[in-house]
Amino acid sequence: MSIIETRGLKKSFRSRGRLIEAVKGVDIQVQTGGTFGFLGPNGAGKTTTMRMLTTLMRPTGGEGRVAGYDLMRQPELVRQKIGYVGQAGGADGKATARENLILQGRICGLSLAQARERTTTLIGALGLSELADRKVKTYSGGQRRRLDLALGMVHEPALLFLDEPTTGLDPKSRNELWAELRKLQDAGTTIFMTTHYLDEADALCQRLAIMDGGSIVVEGTPAELKRQIMGDTVILGMDTSHTVLHHAQEVLRGQPFVRSLQEERDSGLRLQVEHGEDSLPVILRLMEGAGVPIRTVSLSRPTLDDVFLKQTGRSLYQQQN
């Protein structure tokens, strides 16, 4: 069952007389359960899309259903079912984690007793026990992000939206937050998250959509995206004299599993192949049969950055600083 479904979702802004089409008609379907990743460079339109899905911003066109309710006609009902943790987080630095959580519980309609009980549960679940009664402004970035997560979960939402949950965190805090997100996912919460980290998308998400310039350019499982688009890469190190290279290429070119073949500077040949782990032994046998000695071999699977590069002509890493 789809927990998020949109058709032609659009948002444009008017800024100093200019029209900015931030989101240009997005169709997405997210199934219940698991983590759906929304990936793309800065300015792609991820936050704007998420703000529309969470009813914080009214679309200028299109329609959608989120957590069973219509985005335009039933925004209050949508809000009751979802949690949202924005890029900046929403905790009050001058209050403690416990105070922030109790207040949030009251805002969500819990009684004081219920809010206290839920706060205790969340403090335990997110490893905040030792900090719970300290002012939030004394927390590290990772601790603060864990509190932000807790704040988004006070009303036990079935669907949690996270906008770049790990941006700015050190690797250790990132890993800790990933562990929390996996726990949530295992407990049955559906997570919709944006990120511009490819490794994060790879590690956490069962499905991904890549957005660029306000549109979704490709969607699928991380493995599907990589496989469809690239195949695996094999690099063969060999004598780089013209005769040897020419002979090796002649032998390989006719093989059904070879998608492309080119000379690799100073080392030998680069091949894109289907199912690298199966084709590699065949390639080595062919080379042996042809009398071409192979010095080195490498097999690599495409990365999500290769996918992005292929779709947009740019590397995702070039966008960031």
Count of residues making up the chain: 321
How far apart are the C-alpha atoms of 229 and 186, rounded to whole Å? 30
Binding pattern to ligand ADP, positions 22-51, x when CB under 6 A? Answer: x-----------------x-xxxxxxx---
Contact call for residue 83 and ligand ADP (CB under 6 A): no
Contact call for residue 100 and Mg ion (CB under 5 A): no
- Tell me the two tokens of residue 75: 């925004």
Q: What are phi and psi of 183, to 5 degrees?
A: -60, -45
- Answer yes or no: are the C-beta atoms of 63 and 7 closer than 8 Å: yes
Binding pattern to Mg ion, positions 5-44, x when CB under 5 A? Answer: ----------------------------------------
Query: Could you tell which of ligand ADP, Mg ion, none binds residue 237, using a CB distance below 5 to 8 A set by kind?
Result: none
Identity of the residue, 9 or 22, whose beta carbon is nearer to ligand ADP in the bound complex: 22
Contact call for residue 129 and ligand ADP (CB under 6 A): no
Contact call for residue 48 and Mg ion (CB under 5 A): no
Binding region for Mg ion (CB under 5 A) out of 47-55, 72-80, 247-255, 265-273: 47-55
How many residues form the binding site for ligand ADP (CB under 6 A)?
12
Nearest to 236 by CA among 301, 291, 295: 295
How far apart are the C-alpha atoms of 139 and 319, rounded to whole Å? 30
How far apart are the C-alpha atoms of 48 and 58, rounded to whole Å? 10
Residue facing Mg ion at closest CB distance: 47
Query: Could you tell which of Mg ion, ligand ADP, none binds residue 22, using a CB distance below 5 to 8 A set by kind?
Result: ligand ADP
Strand-by-strand arrangement of the 215-220 sheet:
82-85, 159-163, 190-195, 35-39, 207-212, 215-220
Contact call for residue 98 and ligand ADP (CB under 6 A): no
Q: 212-223 in b/e burial notation, b at 16+ Cβ within 10 A?
A: bebbbbbbbebe
Query: Could you tell which of ligand ADP, Mg ion, none binds residue 284, using a CB distance below 5 to 8 A set by kind?
Result: none
Residue 303 burial (10 A CB sphere; 0-12, 13-18, 19+): middle
CB of 239 to Mg ion, least distance (A): 50
Contact call for residue 143 and Mg ion (CB under 5 A): no
Chain positions contacting Mg ion, by CB under 5 A: 46-47
Chain positions contacting ligand ADP, by CB under 6 A: 13, 15, 20, 22, 40, 42-48
